[in-house]
Structure 1
Amino acid sequence: MTVTIDNAGFETADSNGVVQGWTTTRAIHASSEPGTVYSGKRSLLINRENSDTLLSQDVHAKPGIYDLSLMVWANGPLKDSRFEANGDAVPIASAGAVQIDGEKTWDEIRLEGVRVEADGELDVRIYVEPIASPDFVGYIDDVAIERTGDLDAAGDGGEAGASGSVGASGRSGMPIWQPVTVRGGDMQDQRARIDGLEDGYYTLTVMTRNPGGWRQCYVYAGSEPGEPDGTGDSHATGLARDDVRRAAVPRNAFRPQDKDKWKRVTVRGIVVSGGSLTVGVHAEGGTGSDVVCEFDDWRLERDVRQDGEPYRLYIGGDITEVPYVIDQGGVFRDEHGEPVDPIAFAGANGWNIVRIRVFNETGKGHGGDGWYIPGGYHEVADGLKLARRTKAAGMAIQWSFHYSDTWTNPGIQMVPHAWQRKIEGLGDDAAVDMLERLVYEYTADTLDRLNAQGTTPEFVSIGNETRSGMLLPYGSLDHWDALARFYNAGARAVRELCPDAKIIIHVDDGGNTRRYMEYFGAARDHGVDYDVIGSSFYPFWTQKSAKQFAQFATKVTHEFGKPIMIMETGFNWTGNNGAGYPGQLTNNGPYGGPETSSPELQRDFLIDLFNELRGVPDGMAIGDLYWDPVMIYANGNVHWSYRESDDMPGGNVVDNTALFDFDGRALPAFDAYRYNG
C-alpha cells in the first residue's frame, strides 16, 4: 500500500521557484531545467545556494512497517546528507551511480523497515548538508512511502539476540533445535535428527553471528548425512551429494557498528524423504578459540510449492575468455600452484553453471569505437567448444547472445557488420523487418548446432545489458515496438529449438528498483516473451550491498512474477591490477575502498551474496554468474581488445577482480562455491 506524501516530487513551487508543501529551515528551490528531473517537471535543487537545510513533513499512516525511498543525482559526493523517518536514517551518500557507459544515473536511496506505531505518526525528513563548491549540483526527486507489513510480523531478527527475542519477531517455521556455538581449533560437526516430517521440499533458516576467521563454516541439511570424518560423507570438505544442501555462513558484519547483529542464513531445496531430516553445523580452520560462530532460532518450513524440481541456486561464472587467455600464455593453477584446466577445476569446486558469451564475427575491421576483439574468439565455433568442455565437467550452460561483433553494454549495441550490409539502403521499417528475421535465423542456427553436439543450454539470454535497447538505433527505447520484436524473434527460436531452456532479458544497474519497474513494465506492455529477469550487480557500479540487492530482487520478482538471476557480478581482491594501476572497479562500494580489498574480502562478499539470494522469498533469486573470473594477468599479455588503427593492446582492467590471482593461482573465493550448494 502506497502512502501519499504532499509534494513528493517537488512539483509545487511558488512564483520564485521555492518548494512548497514541506517545512524547511531555509527556503530551497526546485529545478525545472531539462535533464534535471527523474519524473514530472521539477526536482529539488541542491547547490551552494540551496543547501544546509532540513525539509520535514508529518505524515499520518496506518500502524505498520514502511519502506521509504527517494531518487538522487549529483555531480559530486554527498557525504553528510540524510534521509530520515521516525528516528531511522540512511545517508544520501550518492554522486549518482556511474554506469559502464559513462551515464551518471539517478540512484535510489532506500530507508526500510521503519515502524509506525499506534499513534500513526510518520515524521519524514531530508537533511541537505552545506555545499561549499560553486560547481556542485544535485537533484532529489520522487519521495515514496510504501507499507510493507504489520507490526506483529516485522523484522528478521537482524538486531535480536537469543531465540526468544528472534522468534518473537514473527518468523515463520517450526522451531527444531537448540542454540549451537562452535569455536576455533579442531574440526567440529554438530547435528540433530528431526523425525515425523511430511515428505517434500523444505526451507531451513537459522540466525547466525559469525565475525569471520574460519576456513570453512557452513550449515547443512539432508535426509542421509554421512560421517563428519568423510566416511560416506555428504557434507564435509570437497564432497557433495544431491540429497544434502549446504549454506556457507556469512560474516554478520562488514562494518564495525554491526558487529553485534545477527544474520539469517537460509538453506533452500531440502528434500525430506522417509519422514526424517538431519541438520547440522560443520566448521574448521578457525584461528584460535577466540574465533566463535553462534547459531540460534533454527526453523524448518515446508515449502508452499511442492511440484517440479527442488530449488537450486546456480552459481558459477563466465568462461568465454579461457581459450584466449591460454593462447596468450596464461596458466591456471589450483591453490597449491599445480596447473589445472580452469573449467574442470571450477566444476569440481562448487560451480554448477557457466556463462558463454557469443559475438557474431570478431576480428580486425569488426570492432566498435575503434577497438576490436581478435578474430575467432567469442564466436559461435569457439562457444561450441566451451560448451562441450562445460558438459564434460557436469555444469549447466547459460548462453549469452550479444547480436554484435564486439562488446555490448548500455553504451554500445552495434549492429553486426554483416547485418549492416544487409540493411544498407533500406528504410527504417524494412530494416527492422530484416533485423527481426536475422535475429531469429542466427539464434535458431546457433541453438541447432548446440543441440546437435548434445550441449543444449539451460538458459539463453537475448542480448547483453540491453538497458538502452539492442541493435541500435533500430531497437532503442524510443522504438520499444521494434525492440520487442527483436526480443521475441530470439525467444521464438529458443522456444522452438530448446523448449526446456529459460529465456533471460539482461539489464545492468541491478538494485535500481524503479529502473527495473519501468523497463520490465514496458517489456510486459509490449508482450516480450521471457522467463527470467537478468541483472548485472557490482557493488562498485551500483554502490549497493548484497542485502540491498536482495531487497530489490524481492520487489521486482514479486511485481513481475519471474525469478531473477545475476548475470554479472565482480569484486576486487586487490586494489590495483597486474600492471599496477586501478582497474575497472576502483572500489568495492559499501564494502570499502581499494585499500581494504583482499582475497578474503572477495570470498566473504560472495558468501554474503549467495546467502542473500537464497533468502529472497519463495526462492525467486536463482543464481549468480561471476564476471570475469578467468581474465587473469598472464604476464601482461591478456587484453580486453585491440585498437583498429595500429593493433595496440587495450590492457586488462579486470585481472584484479578475477577468481585467480596474477599468477593464475585459485583464490579463496572458491570456498564460497565449495560450501554452498
Structure 2
Amino acid sequence: MFKKIKNVNWLCIILLLLVINTACKKTIKGETQIYPEPDPIGTYALGADVSWLTEMEAAGKKFYNAAGAQEDLLKILKDKGINTIRLRVWVNPTAGYCNTADVLAKAKRAKAMNMRLLIDFHYSDSWADPGQQNKPAAWATQDFAALKTSVYNHTVEVLTVLKTNKIVPEWVQVGNETNNGMLWNDGKASTNMKNFADLVLSGYNGVKAVNSSSKVVVHISNGYDNSLFRWIFDGLKNNGAKWDVIGMSMYPTATDWSAKNTQCLTNMTDMVSRYGSEVMICELGMPVSEAVACKAFIKDLIAKNKSLPNNKGLGVFYWEPQSYNSWSGYKLGAFDDTGKPTVAMDAFLP
C-alpha cells in the first residue's frame, strides 16, 4: 500500500514539474523556449541627438507628449521608440554647453533612462562641419605633433570622466562631418590626407585606451555621395587610419528623399563591401513643415540600413528633433510649435 502511494506521489510531482516548465517556457507569442527572448530594440539603435537639451531647458523651454502633458524630453523620446542618445563634445565652448561637465550631466540622464550612448567629438570650441573645422583656441598655435597629442588627451579625458561615472558609450565619433578632414588647416584632407589620417588614428587610440569595447565612428555628411565617401575612406585606409563604423548624415527634402535614400543604400552597401565597415546614419532631418514626408523618409531609411548584409546597419539618429519654434534658427526639428512631437517621430515606433 505504501509503495503504491509513493509511486503515485512521484508521478504527480513529475507531472506538476512538466506543467510548470512548459508554462514558464511559453512566450506571449505562444512559442516555447528555454530563456526569455532578447530585447529586439537592443540590437538596433533608434537615436536622437539632443545636445541642445540643457541649453533649451535653461532658456525655459518645456516639452510635451502627444496628449499635451509636460514630461521630461527623454521620456517623450523613449515612448516614441528612441533607445539611444547622441551628444556632441566641444573643447572649451564660450557658454559652457557641450563641454565635459554638460555632456556628463546629459549622459547621466540618458543612463538613468536606460538609453544607449553615442559621443560625438568635434575637436573644436564650436561647430565642426563640412564648412568649418576650426581648432580649439587652446590648440591654435600647436605644431602637428602637439595637435595629435591634444586629440588623444582630450578624447581620453572626456571618456574617463564618463567611465568614472560608470558610463561607457557604445560608439564614439572621432570628428564631426569631416568631409574634408578636421583641425584645419593641418588636418585638411584635400591638402594633407596623411595628417587627417594621423588625427583620426590619435582619436581612435584614445577611445580604445579608455574603453576597448566602444566602436569608433568616422562621420561624413551627404550619405548619398559615394565618390566623396570613397575618396575619404580610401585616403584614410591608405594612410594607416583605423575605424569601426562609417557614419553618414542625410538631410533630403520632401521631393527628393526617395531618390537620395536609394543612392544612400548604394553607398552604404559599397562601404560594407569595400571596407567591411558597419554603417550608421548619425544625423538625419527634414523641415518640420514636412512631417508626413519626413516620417516616410525615416521609415524607408531605417529599412534600407537594416537591409545591409551581416547586420552591418547599426542605426539612425534624428538630429535635435526637440528643437521647436525655430530654436537657434533651426527649422529641421520634429516637434511642433507647442513643444509636442510631430508625426515624423512615429517613424521610430515598431
**Alignment TM-score, normalising by the size of structure 2:** 0.86
Contact map agreement 1:573 1:601 (CA 8 A) in 2: no
Give yes or no for the alignment of 1:653 onto 2:330.
yes
Please point out which of 251, 255, 266 is paired with 1:551. Answer: 266
SS in 1 for 2:343: coil
Aligned to 2:138: 418
Give yes or no for the alignment of 1:452 onto 2:127.
no
Q: Deviations over 1:290-332 (max 9, x none)?
A: xxxxxxxxxxxxxxxxxxxxx9221111010011111112111
Aligned to 1:293: none
Aligned to 2:91: 360
Aligned to 1:536: 249
Give yes or no for the alignment of 1:351 onto 2:26.
no
SS in 2 for 1:669: helix
1:244 Cα deviation from its structure 2 partner: 6.4
Amino acid corresponding to residue 310 of structure 2 in structure 1: D
Aligned to 2:107: 387
Aligned to 1:493: 206
Give yes or no for the alignment of 1:442 onto 2:174.
no
Contact map agreement 2:122 2:175 (CA 8 A) in 1: yes
Aligned to 1:510: 223
Identity of aligned residues (%): 27
- 1:545 and 1:514 map into 2 onto residues whose CA distance is 14
- 1:526 and 1:410 map into 2 onto residues whose CA distance is 21
- 1:540 and 1:388 map into 2 onto residues whose CA distance is 34
Amino acid corresponding to residue 489 of structure 1 in structure 2: S
Contact map agreement 1:629 1:658 (CA 8 A) in 2: yes
CA 1:312/1:332 → structure 2, altered by over 3 Å: closer, same or farther? same
- 2:129 and 2:37 map into 1 onto residues whose CA distance is 37
- 1:613 and 1:412 map into 2 onto residues whose CA distance is 28
Q: Deviations over 1:469-519 (max 9, x none)?
A: 110000011112221111111111111101100000111111111211121
Give yes or no for the alignment of 1:225 onto 2:35.
no
SS in 2 for 1:488: helix
Amino acid corresponding to residue 274 of structure 2 in structure 1: E
Q: Deviations over 1:620-672 (max 9, x none)?
A: 21111111212222xx6x32xxxxxxxxxxxx132xx2121111012222322
Amino acid corresponding to residue 318 of structure 1 in structure 2: D
Contact map agreement 2:296 2:347 (CA 8 A) in 1: yes
Greater relative contact order (Cα 8 A, min sep 6): structure 1 or 2?
A: 2
1:437 Cα deviation from its structure 2 partner: 0.7
SS in 2 for 1:339: coil
Give yes or no for the alignment of 1:609 onto 2:301.
yes
CA 1:463/1:444 → structure 2, altered by over 3 Å: closer, same or farther? same
Which runs of 5 or more structure 2 residues have no equivalent in the other structure? 1-25, 31-35
CA 1:348/1:393 → structure 2, altered by over 3 Å: closer, same or farther? farther
Which runs of 5 or more structure 1 residues have no equivalent in the other structure? 1-222, 228-240, 247-310, 364-374, 424-430, 575-596, 640-651
- 1:557 and 1:448 map into 2 onto residues whose CA distance is 31
Amino acid corresponding to residue 658 of structure 1 in structure 2: G
Contact map agreement 2:322 2:341 (CA 8 A) in 1: no
1:540 Cα deviation from its structure 2 partner: 4.0
SS in 1 for 2:322: coil
SS in 2 for 1:471: coil
* Structure label with greater radius of gyration: 1
- 1:564 and 1:540 map into 2 onto residues whose CA distance is 22
- 1:438 and 1:242 map into 2 onto residues whose CA distance is 45
Amino acid corresponding to residue 608 of structure 1 in structure 2: D
1:39-58, aligned counterparts within 5 Å?
none
1:114-513, aligned counterparts within 5 Å?
224-226=27-29, 243=38, 245=40, 312-363=43-94, 375-421=95-141, 423=142, 431-477=143-189, 478-513=191-226
Worse overlay, 497-506 or 618-627: 618-627
1:573 Cα deviation from its structure 2 partner: 3.1
SS in 1 for 2:172: strand
Amino acid corresponding to residue 345 of structure 2 in structure 1: F
- 2:108 and 2:53 map into 1 onto residues whose CA distance is 14
Q: Deviations over 1:521-575 (max 9, x none)?
A: 111101111100011112249864323311221112111101110111101231x
Please point out which of 509, 519, 522 is paired with 2:235. Answer: 522
- 2:310 and 2:172 map into 1 onto residues whose CA distance is 23
1:2-17, aligned counterparts within 5 Å?
none
1:435 Cα deviation from its structure 2 partner: 0.4
Worse overlay, 535-544 or 480-489: 535-544
Please point out which of 316, 320, 339 is paired with 1:628. Answer: 320
- 1:622 and 1:665 map into 2 onto residues whose CA distance is 27
SS in 2 for 1:468: coil
Structure with the higher strand share, 1 or 2: 1
Contact map agreement 1:401 1:463 (CA 8 A) in 2: yes
Q: Deviations over 1:583-634 (max 9, x none)?
A: xxxxxxxxxxxxxx2x33222221122112112222221111111212222x
Structure with the higher helix share, 1 or 2: 2
Contact map agreement 2:124 2:136 (CA 8 A) in 1: yes
- 2:163 and 2:176 map into 1 onto residues whose CA distance is 22
Aligned to 2:9: none
- 1:510 and 1:550 map into 2 onto residues whose CA distance is 9
- 1:312 and 1:419 map into 2 onto residues whose CA distance is 38
SS in 1 for 2:288: coil
- 1:560 and 1:606 map into 2 onto residues whose CA distance is 25
Amino acid corresponding to residue 224 of structure 1 in structure 2: T
Contact map agreement 2:198 2:240 (CA 8 A) in 1: no
Aligned to 1:166: none
- 2:111 and 2:250 map into 1 onto residues whose CA distance is 26
1:450 Cα deviation from its structure 2 partner: 0.5
Contact map agreement 1:491 1:530 (CA 8 A) in 2: yes
- 1:604 and 1:447 map into 2 onto residues whose CA distance is 36
Give yes or no for the alignment of 1:663 onto 2:338.
yes
Aligned to 1:189: none
Amino acid corresponding to residue 545 of structure 1 in structure 2: K
Contact map agreement 2:179 2:228 (CA 8 A) in 1: no
Amino acid corresponding to residue 561 of structure 1 in structure 2: G
SS in 2 for 1:672: helix
- 2:27 and 2:39 map into 1 onto residues whose CA distance is 8
1:242 Cα deviation from its structure 2 partner: 5.3
**Alignment TM-score, normalising by the size of structure 1:** 0.45
Amino acid corresponding to residue 400 of structure 1 in structure 2: D
Q: Deviations over 1:50-79 (max 9, x none)?
A: xxxxxxxxxxxxxxxxxxxxxxxxxxxxxx
- 2:57 and 2:37 map into 1 onto residues whose CA distance is 33
Contact map agreement 2:288 2:335 (CA 8 A) in 1: no
